[in-house]
Amino acid sequence: MELIEEIRIKANRANVFAALNDVDILRRSIPGCEKLEAISPTEFTGIVVSKVGPMKARFAGNVTVSDLKPPESYTLVGAGKGGVAGFAKMRTMVTLIDEGDSTLMRYEVKADIGGKLAQLGGALITKTSKKLAGVFFQNFETIVNDEN
């Protein structure tokens, strides 16, 4: 699955970049996130409960941050296993464009999905991913603005 989206966040770029690397803000923003811990400054591990179509699964996984270019861009590489529901691997490139009071965030996700999840059909997976991303950024924007 590939997803390229843009979203405008009402916060300046430095704050957005900092928040994107803040474990606590991420944990509160990710829909269904039960646990998120930093193992190192560039490595997170966590558990997310997610519902895709008829399937609900707990994903245990880790995410590594690379290509860090504060406050412009970074790349996230992650993998998660959802037991019988299957597994997912993803690579996300995040770019932040400075627009003064707000920031245009552009993200490109490339995900490989396997197991029963994959069989739900691309349309459903993409739709769910977009929905989850929407919820994430809504939460994220609220938290970033509250904190600043």
Residues that bind another protein (CB under 8 A): 83-84, 86-87, 112-116, 118-119, 121-122
Q: How far is the CB of 61 from another protein (least distance, A)?
A: 14
User: Which CB, 71 or 86, lies closer to another protein?
Assistant: 86
Helices (DSSP H) in 4-147: which residue ranges?
13-20, 23-29, 122-147
User: Which CB, 31 or 114, lies closer to another protein?
Assistant: 114
Q: How far is the CB of 18 from another protein (least distance, A)?
A: 35
Amino acid letter for position 67? D
How deeply is 111 buried, as exposed, middle or buried, from its count of CB atoms within 10 A (0-12, 13-18, 19+)?
Answer: middle
Cis omega (within 30 of 0) on the bond before 31? no
With beta carbons less than 8 A apart as the criterion, state whether 33 and 58 touch.
no
Q: How far is the CB of 112 from another protein (least distance, A)?
A: 6
Q: How far is the CB of 123 from another protein (least distance, A)?
A: 10
User: Which CB, 33 or 113, lies closer to another protein?
Assistant: 113
User: Which CB, 70 or 83, lies closer to another protein?
Assistant: 83
Q: How far is the CB of 25 from another protein (least distance, A)?
A: 32
Q: Cβ neighbours of residue 121 under 8 Å, at least 6 residues apart? A: none
User: Which CB, 62 or 102, lies closer to another protein?
Assistant: 62
Decide the pairing of beta strands 43-52 and 73-81: unpaired
